[in-house]
Structure 1
Amino acid sequence: MPGPRTRNARGSGFKALFTHFDRDHHELSGVLGRYAVPLLEEVRRTQTVAELDELEKFGVTALVDTVRVQAPVVGRSFRPGSTGEGRPRWDASQSQGAPTTRHWVPFAVSGEQELLRRWPDDPPIDVEPVDKWWDAGEVFRRVEYAVTENQAYTDDNTPTWCLEAVEEREDGRMVWALYTHVDLSLEEEEAVAQGKLDLRAIVRARRDYIEPIVSAIAAQTDYFFKTKLPAVLKEQLADHRTVLTNREAVTAALTVPGPGFAPLPRVAVTKRRDEVDRSSQEQSGENEAVPEELGVAEAEFGSEEVPGPSLVKFSTRASLAPVSFEDVQRTIRRWANAVERYPGTFEQLGEERISDLLAATLNATVPDVGREVFTQNGRSDIFIKADALDADLGPATVFICEAKKATGRKAVREALDPQLFSYLNVHDTSAVLLLLLNQNQFHRSRKLYLEVLESIAGYKGTEVEFIKGWPILKFERDGRYVNVCAAFVHVRPPDKPRAKN
């Protein structure tokens, strides 16, 4: 069996194995870490939870198997051979030399042979590297199996162990072997033939010396692929899933509900009998009473006159038409559905950020939605302005929303009175109080806070709710009625299951 491919000049082309330099600069953990890179990159490239589910569908072990390599195994020796001239031998004075013949001993290698070029470092091993004479910078060394003193020294710096490809198989894979060598003079070859020199013992001792190093390489490699890499990959998958879940929650919160824009808010003009322009009635010559049904008559936008037995004029005020108020409630309910699907994300957000997200959703469905706009007595959280009003009314806010975390009775009470009520002016007759509950027992907390709202001065009763679970509370403030939709949203994530002992 031929040895490694012929090299020039004192065998300097052979790369040494198991040396001091490998121990200090070629740690095995460094090259093993490279096998994790493509997997971690594949995790980071996923853009959605669905893509991550597809990546994980066969489990972490299956992912690791896509990059797993077998630890190197050094087998038995096979077909030793000679390659001709070895390094000459010298006496102690280096004045007398003798030629040698180099004999190679190959050991079969299976698994990932390149890992043999690294030093095991997890955990470190208490084994000294080989070829200490060369690392120490010595030029001449004594050959341990020399049979005569006049041929006992050599300047051979060929590594004790080197890794070389033996042949290429039909499938293109290479067959590798771990080589060691002995340079024998004629006298030493004769001693072997006579049974005076045991080369097997020499080679066996070399092999036994590197066995702990090879075993440690195999053990660290197996541990990396069976334990360490799966643990790192699981952690990365969990962290990335959290990121994608939170990101999709934000996307869902910003998604436009429904197929397109909701109808524009319509301004209704409410007529009351006590607002009849009596002078106009008298001028018309009519003395008939105002029909009862006109007491709460409504007209379309821009109408100020109601036909009847006389031309009856009313002072008008703007309010959000019932259908528009319902549209806004529906939009917020769809937005709240997305919030409650990802409660863990929104529980961590402050009221300001949650209001930002709600305002963005409303802006996609209802024109002219503002955030933190200064009103008569403060800065309202979210408000919607009517598209247009009669010239005598002017642009006016017809809808106000206040978002508040329901942390206690006081916070809920003050969110409505004085905070939300202080934003309302004479043209505002509809509002939403968005209460974010993170308590365990949602329905119990909702009942408690609803009682708090109903205890506030001016409460006149509850209208029929349009959104299930969101009652519309009616209040009288300063001689006018205000409808407040109490919108309860649950933002507490479910408790994580406890780990089993």
Structure 2
Amino acid sequence: MVSVEAFNTTVQDKHPLSKYLDDLVAQLGLHKRLQQLGELTELDDFESAFADELAAGRPALPTVGELERARIVHDIQRPTSEDGQQSETISRHYFCLSIQGDERLLMRWPDRDETGLIPVDAETWEKYYDTCSQNRLHNYLFRVGCETWVLSPTTDGGKQWALYGFVDVTLEQEQQVNDGELSLRSVVDEQAALARRFVEAIAKQTADYFDVEAPQKLRELIKDRRRKLTNRAAVTADLGFPPSWKAPALWLDDASNDNGPAEPVNNEQPAGQSTSTVVLATRPRLAPASFAEVLQIIRIWANAVERYGRSFSHLTEDQISDLLAATLNATLPGAQREVYSRGGKSDIFIQADKLAEGSGPAKIFICESKWATSDKVATEALDPQMFGYLITHDTAAVLLLLMPQKKFQRAVGRRLAALKQLEGYVSESSTASGWPALEYQREGRTVSVCVATVHLPRDGQDSEDPSDAS
């Protein structure tokens, strides 16, 4: 039969009720969903509904029923000497308090109680724990103390639970009760009253948590999320592009292979038979004009992000990539679906078949976002990470370096210098966006990467700190 000792020191130490209640709310997924909300209208819907979801996940508060008699075990031998050689005969009279509500709550300690509750086995642990392994009498008294209250199902199905306690009666005490010289009912009532105090403390903490504490925590998180989304909405609004300029829809260009333009190949056939001509297929690429427009959009986006640095300086690379991908999709006229996608890490990419049917799945645009906290982070983002999937020189590539250093230009200079030390570096050229493009010769192919730098200093960071020296 499943049972658990209740209101004990071990429960207090290992199973605090506050941790269990936090876990119950976490299982509802409210906090995770809140952090995934990207629109203020979604946040409004969440704020109006979270209280009902929280209430639905609240466990039934435990209460106890009337004191009832349980079984009796006769002729138990209780040791009376330290070596266990001497003993006396007792009878153990069990009693129980039926439990209504969620019995799992009673397996935890009410750690927010301020009424001075002490574990029922605290004195037992203090007196006998250190000596119970050598002293048989102390071992018995220790075990009995730990079993003061046991939570157990009343049926095999476990649908109904009860708290079981007991009182031990010697043969002499039985005679005293029979003679009217002793009453044990007061002892049982005292134990039952203490058990009720524990249950009431657990119920009160649970009610306070779901009625006050959890809603307050969620309202604070909603407030913080609203501030972030409002700031991001301001950035989006501030990204309003000039009326005189409008980005055209992206278009593809045909690219030759690495060995030159595609040419027909005549397959020699035996005399008298027809010949066939095989034309090597050209690969699609993002047209240079389209790439320039993409860089211009990223430049405007980066300028706005820098103006609202406080809202973005603590975001992860993935979160910033999500924001940029959403901005690129929203600012491309004529885009009927998500053209820019997120990969498994923090990269943004376009596949050729997103823009033209039959162009194949080759990636024709890559953007990798990195917090450039050191030269190593920047160089490894390019080599091996970006070089690993820049399979041709026709791929349009952007390395987006998020710069947390206060001395921005000095940090940018260091990162560019480190990137130029990579194998195969050829030259630097300028782009209309104002960011440099670095050209590399790698494995017989030419790779050009625009290095876009965004200044997002983090609060309290000192550029003179040794961590910024690299």
TM-score (norm 2): 0.45
Q: Radius of gyration: which is bigger?
A: 1
TM-score (norm 1): 0.42
